[in-house]
Amino acid sequence: MNLFKHSILASCLLIASSAMAQDGTIYPLERPAEPNAILLNTGGVENQPATETWFKQWGDPMARNITTATITPFLPEPGKANGAAVIVAPGGGFRWLSLGNEGWEVAQALADQGTAAFVLKYRLRPTPESMDGFKESMNQTLSPRPAVQGEAPPRPASFDLSDQLEDAEAAYAMIVERAEEWGVDVDRLGMIGFSAGAGLTMHSTLNSKTMKLAFIGPIYGGMGPVEVPKDAPPMFNVIATDDFLFKGQFGVVDSWYKAGIPVEFHLYQNGGHGFGLGNPGRTSNRWFDAFIHWLDVNGFLASN
């Protein structure tokens, strides 16, 4: 099995388990209008039992049962744009998207720095319509088979990300097509993602035949080793030691290093998982400043 496919599925299950286990009361949320969202026209989701539903948890707006992919542009103010652009992929175990914490807020922070940002609202795996059914489905998915002495633990099945990859490729193609309109230098178009979004960022890097990303930023994603393409872009990688996805692994960073591709890695003392731009009193809160500095030093923020 492809090392990355195994790693991303295991990561997604852990992400979902953490979200369900923590004491975060879920509140229903009316679906927002999203007036600036642009349809990607990539199709729907097979065997989808419910319509798109929104909720709020830990104060953040989230969506599930997404069947229609979009991108939402966050463009710098006139005169401030530097020409760089970033596709932003929120996380949520491919069952929901944390669109506020890991999408809109990050995109706005990038735009404030002069970099165009595009939040990718990608299609998700189906979940039951009711919230109780959603929780129950997650509990069933995450219930491990009891260990049997002398047997190796069961390995997860391969995780199909073809819909999500198609959405990412469509977003990339649209930005390239409208680059002049949006003030984007396509040679400085990269992608960052959070949690499962980091997985999609990595999956796009390793598997897409159409995306030529200038740089990538997997933020608290899976850390397992991967097979790095010869034309892989520079990588900025972030995770905290108290993130359940870390587990003392440096595989993906080591893979990039051994492939001779530029890589910067920030392992923070604390921050947990899902911190977005940051939570109070955590060392990981400075990652965004470091990311902007990394882009600057590597020439991504200045036109050639």
For residue range 57-112, list pLDDT tens digits in order.
Answer: 888 999 999 999 999 999 999 899 999 999 999 999 999 999 999 999 999 999 99
**Sequential DSSP letters for 253-267:** HHHHHHTT--EEEEE
Closest C-alpha to 115, from 200, 214, 194, 16? 214
pLDDT of residue 304: 61
Residues 266 and 219 sit within 8 Å (Cβ to Cβ):
no
Q: How many CB atoms lie within 10 A of CB 151?
A: 8
The amino acid sitting at 250 is F
Residues in CB range of 49: below 8 A, 6 or more apart? 65, 126, 127, 128, 129
Pairing of strands 263-268, 189-194: unpaired
Which residue has 């990269």 as its token pair?
A: 190
pLDDT of residue 214: 98
pLDDT band at residue 132, thresholds of 50, 70 and 90? confident
pLDDT of residue 158: 54
Domains of the chain: 3-142+158-297 (3.40.50.1820)
For residue range 150-192, list pLDDT tens digits in order.
Answer: 544 444 445 799 999 999 999 999 999 999 999 999 999 999 9
Residue 293's alpha-carbon distances to 72, 254, 286, in angstroms, are: 25, 22, 11
